[in-house]
């Protein structure tokens, strides 16, 4: 199998689980020499020389995934840009997020089209392609729904549009390539443990948070008291380990073909998680936040994912605890005895 964007948060967990399950994995990264980003993958490779190969692939370089997907039966396309661009910088949003996401998906699929070995592509999409939380078109969103109303000038608008357009590009491509199945995974807000080691071998505080994914760093800031206001907008929350497993089960289950699977264990606000779960679990960290901006109420329905794929989402409290414990253990947050 091939995993694109293998140094990403979800992708590292996916590679880890695939290797554990006995798969031979080709993991693509933009730059094999970026040792800071590849500490975990390189360590995993040293322990699994025969089953893990790290290869280069650049989303913007047509043909750069040819070698990576060749001979693979399944391609997990997780690579996609995710960072914050201020809504007033519309052109930057279009170029750096939307264009890269769409062209990157196109390039990976074109490489898939050149080989006969690939039977299924599992795409890491997002709930952002299902519903716009700022202006939900429905109270209850399922895998049948599409986000059609995000605007570039919205906060995170460019990201939501990038996920929607990239996924639509993939479905359009499969119409012309009936010999390759597609399954899309649409995770909500992904949280959960950080795989050691992300940045350094010696886990001493303060470990640099630059290497953390966006969602991990957001919760780290609440734990250390950098963030004092928590949003009251409704979100789906899900464990990164469950999302990785959903990718694998979507590849292994023949009947998953053609489906979009939402990944969401619980719907609640950031304020509920910080003030309700983290504060109770970590009394020594003076967590106390005020209520920030809210938004319309809606929910994303993920029962079909559990039923079709045959697994159960982890309890959110367990996820938050495992995540915060890993941040403390790896020195991103100071340990308080």
Which of residues 180 and 86 earns the better pLDDT score? 180
Secondary-structure percent of the chain, ordered helix, strand, coil, rounded to 5: 40, 20, 45
Which of residues 272 and 97 earns the better pLDDT score? 272
CA distance 86 to 72: 39
Residue by residue, DSSP assigns 145-193 as -------TTSTTHHHHHHHHHHHHHHHHHHHH-TTSEEEEEEE-EEE-P
CATH of domain 2-192+237-265+299-313: 3.40.50.720
Whether residue 241 contacts residue 314, with contact meaning beta carbons closer than 8 Å, is answered with yes
Q: 159 CB contacts (<8 Å, ≥6 apart)?
A: 82, 84, 85, 97, 128
**Model pTM greater than 0.75?**
yes
Q: 102 CB contacts (<8 Å, ≥6 apart)?
A: 162, 165, 166, 169
> What's the token pair of residue 81?
């840009």
Mean local confidence (pLDDT), 213-232: 92
Residue 96 pLDDT exceeds 70:
yes
CA angle at 155 for the pair 153 and 159, rounded to the nearest 5°: 90
Alpha helices in the chain (DSSP H): 9-20, 39-47, 66-69, 90-92, 100-113, 157-176, 214-223, 240-252, 270-271, 279-281, 303-309, 316-329
Which of 232, 327, 235 lies closest to 285 in space, CA to CA? 327
CA distance 149 to 137: 8
Confidence of residue 214 (pLDDT cuts 50, 70, 90): confident
Cis ω before 278 (30° cut-off from 0): no
pLDDT value for 39: 84
Strands 234-239 and 266-269: antiparallel
Residue 5 pLDDT exceeds 90:
yes
Mean local confidence (pLDDT), 70-77: 98
pLDDT value for 203: 58
Q: What percent of the chain has pLDDT over 70?
A: 94
Strands 189-191 and 140-141: unpaired
Q: What is the pLDDT of residues 245-296, one digit of tens each?
A: 999 999 999 999 999 999 999 999 999 999 999 999 999 998 999 999 999 9
CA distance 110 to 186: 22
pLDDT value for 211: 67
pLDDT value for 265: 98
Mean local confidence (pLDDT), 308-320: 98
CA distance 138 to 74: 34
pLDDT value for 131: 97
Mean local confidence (pLDDT), 128-145: 96
pLDDT value for 3: 98
CA distance 246 to 253: 10
pLDDT value for 167: 98
pLDDT value for 199: 47
Confidence of residue 41 (pLDDT cuts 50, 70, 90): very high
pLDDT value for 70: 97
pLDDT value for 160: 94
Whether residue 209 contacts residue 220, with contact meaning beta carbons closer than 8 Å, is answered with yes
Residue 201 pLDDT exceeds 70:
no
Q: What percent of the chain has pLDDT over 90?
A: 79
Describe the crossing of helices 240-252 and 9-20 by its angle, rounded to 10 degrees.
50
pLDDT value for 52: 97
Whether residue 254 contacts residue 308, with contact meaning beta carbons closer than 8 Å, is answered with no
CA angle at 241 for the pair 235 and 242, rounded to the nearest 5°: 60
CA distance 246 to 262: 9
Whether residue 159 contacts residue 102, with contact meaning beta carbons closer than 8 Å, is answered with no
């Amino acid at each position: 199998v091939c995993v694109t964007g293998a140094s990403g948060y979800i992708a590292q967990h996916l590679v880890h689980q695939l290797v554990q399950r006995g798969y031979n994995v080709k993991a693509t990264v933009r730059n094999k020499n970026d040792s800071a980003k590849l500490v975990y993958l390189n360590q995993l490779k040293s322990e699994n020389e025969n089953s893990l190969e790290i290869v280069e692939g650049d989303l913007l370089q047509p043909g750069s995934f040819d070698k990576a997907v060749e001979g693979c039966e399944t391609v997990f396309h997780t690579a996609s840009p995710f960072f914050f661009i201020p809504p007033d910088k519309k052109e930057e949003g279009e170029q750096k997020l939307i264009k890269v996401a769409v062209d990157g998906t196109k390039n990976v699929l074109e490489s898939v089209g050149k080989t006969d070995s690939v039977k299924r592509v599992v795409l890491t999409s997002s709930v952002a392609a299902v519903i716009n939380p700022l202006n939900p078109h429905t109270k209850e969103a399922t895998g049948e729904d599409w986000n059609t109303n995000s605007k570039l000038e919205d906060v995170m608008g460019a990201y939501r549009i990038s996920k929607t357009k990239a996924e639509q590009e993939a479905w359009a491509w499969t119409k012309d390539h009936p010999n390759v199945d597609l399954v899309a995974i649409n995770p909500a807000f992904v949280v959960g443990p950080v795989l050691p080691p992300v940045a350094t071998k010696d886990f001493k505080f303060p470990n640099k948070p630059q290497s953390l994914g966006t969602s991990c760093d957001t919760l780290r800031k609440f734990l250390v008291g950098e963030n004092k206001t928590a949003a009251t907008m409704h979100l789906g929350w899900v464990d990164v380990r469950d999302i990785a497993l959903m990718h694998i089960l979507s590849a292994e289950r023949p009947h998953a073909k053609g489906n979009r699977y939402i990944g969401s264990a619980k719907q609640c606000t950031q304020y509920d998680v910080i003030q309700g779960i983290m504060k109770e679990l970590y009394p020594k960290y003076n967590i106390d936040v005020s209520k920030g901006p809210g938004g319309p109420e809606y929910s994303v329905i993920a029962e079909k994912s559990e039923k079709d794929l045959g697994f159960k989402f982890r309890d959110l409290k367990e996820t938050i605890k495992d995540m915060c414990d890993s941040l403390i253990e790896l020195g991103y947050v100071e340990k308080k005895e």
